Amino acid sequence: MKSSVYTDCEDLLGIDAEVKDLLKCVSSSINSVPAGAVNFSRSVLLVISAALVFFMQAGFAMVCAGAVRKKNVQNTMLKNLLDACGAVIAYFVVGFAFSFGGMDPESTRTDFIGKENFFLMGVEDYAFWLFQYAFSAASATIVAGALAERCQMAAYLCYSLMLTGWVYPIIVHAIWNVNGFLSAMHSDPLFGVGMIDFAGSGVVHVTGGLTALFATAILGPRRGRFHDDSGRKLDTPKPIQGSSVALQMLGTFILWFGWYGFNCGSALLVINEYTGSIVALAAVNTTMSAGVAGITALFVNLWYLERTTGEPFFDLTYAMNGALSGLVAVTAGCGVIEPWAAVTTGFVAGLIYMVGSRGLIMVRLDDAVDAIPVHLMNGVWGCTAVGLWASPTRISRYFGRAPHPGWFYAIRDGNPGDMRLLGAQLVGLLFIIGWVMSIMVPFFIWLDWKGWFRSDPLEEIVGLDTSYHGGLALLNSYQDTVQPEYITAFKKQREEGNLRRRNNRGVGHVGTAGDSEVYEESGHGVTEDAC
C-alpha cells in the first residue's frame, strides 16, 4: 500500500485535510515495517522450508526401500536415518564453520574455508543453520541408494561423515559464501558475475551424484546383475526387481513436495522488495520442470522400446525418475529463469535421464536407484542451463546486478560474445568435480583396501537385513527368496563367528588353546583355516 494512492485520489474522494493526514500516517506506518517483523517472518519461513527439505529424507527412504529387494529394506532405511543423524553431528561440529564461519558481506576478501563458529559458537541465525543442515543431509543421502544392497555399515558411516563434514562444506563455501571465490554475491565475482547455483544443482546434487559414481565404480555391481554365479559375464544384464513400486511412487511425491522448501526457501536468503515474487517464480519453475521431465522420460522411453523391441509399455520408473531429474535440473536456476526456460530445462532433463540410465547399464555400473543419471548428470545440466538462459531481469532482482546474463539473452541483445556467466558455471562445475574426485576417490580406495567397503558375499546373498538387523531370526521370512544352501551356510558362518568372538573375550576359553581346538571340542569338527 502506497501513500501516493491517497494523494492521487484525494480530489475524487473529497477527503478533508484531517482525514487525509490520518490516512497518510497509517499508510506510512504500513510501509515502514519494523526490522524485527521482517526477521521474524524470515526465520519462521526458513524453519518451515528447512522442515520441508528435511522431510525429503522420508522421500529418499521410500524410494530406496521400494527399489531394493525385501531382504535389504531395513538396512537401506537405517542408512537413510543415519544420514540425518550423522549430518547433525558433522555440521554442528565443523560443517557449518567450514561453510559459513566468519562470513562477512562487507569484506572484499576471498578465502577457501571458514575458520569460525565451530560447535555453533557465536551463531545467532539458527534458522539459517537449520536450513543449511538439511541441505547437507540431502547431499549424503543421494549416495545411499546407489550403493544399496552391498555396502558395509562401517563404510557407510565413514563416507557419510566425510562428505557432510569436509567435502560438501568446502564446495558450499566456494559457491554460497559471500567470501567464496565462485560466489555470485562476492564484491568482485569471478568473470564479473560468479557462479549462480540458486538452490544447489551443483552444490548438492553434483556433489552427491559424483560421490555415488566413484563409490559405485569402486564397490562393483550387485551379485547376479552383470555376471552369473560362476563369474562369467552375462550377455544381457539381469534386471533386479525392487520390493515395491508403490513405495517408490510415495517417495517420489514426497521428494517433489519437499523440493518446494529446497527451491523456494533459497529465495528467502536475500530479502528485498522482490522476495515474494521470486519465491512464487521458484515454485512455478519447479513444478513446470518436474512435470515436463516426467512426461518426456515416459514417452521417449515408450518410443525407444517400440523401435527396438516392438513391444512398448509405459515404464513407471522412467516417469518417476524423469520427474526427479527435472527437479534436480531446475534447482540451479529456479529463481533466475523464466517459466518457458524451466519447461525447456525439464524437457532436456527427461532426455538426459533416459540416455544416462541406459548408458550406465552399457558401461556396467550398477546404480540401484539411478542416482547417478538423476542427480549427477542433471545437476551438471541444471548448472549449464543457467549459463544459457538466466534472465537479466531475474538476476537483477535477486543479486542486485545483471551485467552478464545467460548466453541466449546476450545473443538476443546483440552481444553473442558475452559468455561470462556460462564460463563461470563451467568453472564452478570443474571445481566441484576436481574437489570431490581428489578427496573421495582415494578415500573409497582406502576403504576397499581395508576390507571395510563391500559386504561379505554370503551376507549379500542372504540379505543385509539378516547380517545387521536381526541375525538368524530374519532368515525364516526369506525362505522363498534365498536358496536353502545359502541359509545353511550363513547360519554356520554366523555361529562360528559368534564362537570366535566369545573366545576372544575369554568366555569358556581356558589356557592358550587355539580356536581350531575349541571348534573341535564344541562339536563343529572344522578348523579355523577351513572356515
Is the model's pLDDT at 175 over the cut of 60?
A: yes
2 pLDDT more than 50: no
pLDDT of 249 > 50? The answer is yes
**DSSP codes joined into one string, 245-314:** HHHHHHHHHHHHHHHHHHHHHHHTTS-STTHHHHHHHHHHHHHHHHHHHHHHHHHHHHHHHHHHTS----
Closest residue by Cα to residue 350 from 375, 390, 378:
378
pLDDT band at 512 (very low <50, low <70, confident <90, very high): very low
Query: At which residue does the C-alpha cell 529418499 appear?
Result: 60
- Residue 468 domain-assigned? no
Task: Give percent of the chain above pLDDT 90.
Answer: 69
Per residue in 118-173, pLDDT tens? 999 999 999 999 999 999 999 999 998 899 999 998 888 898 999 999 999 999 99
CB atoms within 10 A of CB 405: 26
Q: Is residue 466 part of a domain?
A: no
In a domain, 77, yes or no: yes
| Residue 475 pLDDT | 55
Residue 463 lies in a domain: no
Domain contains 464: no
Alpha helices (H) along 68-181: 73-90, 96-100, 126-146, 153-162, 168-176
For the chain, what is the total number of helices (H) and then of strands (E)?
22, 0
Tell me what pLDDT residue 521 has: 33
Range scoring the smallest mean pLDDT among 16-30, 81-95, 395-409: 16-30
pLDDT in tens, 33-60: 566 778 888 999 999 999 999 999 999 9
The per-residue pLDDT for range 410-456, each reduced to its tens digit, is: 999 999 989 999 999 999 999 999 999 999 999 999 999 999 999 98
What's the rounded Cα separation, in Å, for the pair 439 and 457?
A: 28
| Buried/exposed 91-128: b ≥16 CB within 10 Å, e otherwise | bbebbbbbbbbbbeeeeeebbebbeebbeeeebeeebb
Domains of the chain: total = 1
Check whether 296 has a pLDDT greater than 90. yes
Residue 307 belongs to domain spanning: 36-455
pLDDT tens for each residue of 315-364: 999 999 999 999 999 999 999 999 999 999 999 999 999 999 999 999 99
- The answer to whether residues 354 and 304 touch, using CB atoms and an 8 Å cutoff, is yes
Between 15 and 258, the more confident residue is 258
pLDDT band at residue 374 under the 50/70/90 scheme: very high
* Helix (H/G/I), strand (E/B), else coil: 227: strand
Query: 221 with 149: CB under 8 angstroms?
Result: no
pLDDT tens digits for range 106-125:
888 999 999 999 999 999 99
pLDDT in tens, 187-221: 899 999 999 999 999 999 999 999 999 999 999 99
84 within domain boundaries: yes
Per-residue pLDDT tens digits for 469-510: 875 555 555 555 666 666 666 667 766 766 776 777 664 444
pTM: 0.86
* Nearest by Cα to 379 from 79, 142, 90, 112: 142
Name the DSSP class of 151. Answer: B
Of 288 and 518, the one with more pLDDT: 288
475 in a structural domain? no
Would residue 13 count as lying in a domain? no
Burial code (b: 16+ CB inside 10 Å, e: under 16) for 304-315 equals bbeeeeeeeeeb
- CATH number, domain of 392, equals 1.10.3430.10
The whole-number pLDDT of residue 34 equals 67
Q: In what helix (H) or strand (E) does residue 461 lie, and over which residues does it extend?
A: helix 457-462
pLDDT of residue 491: 65
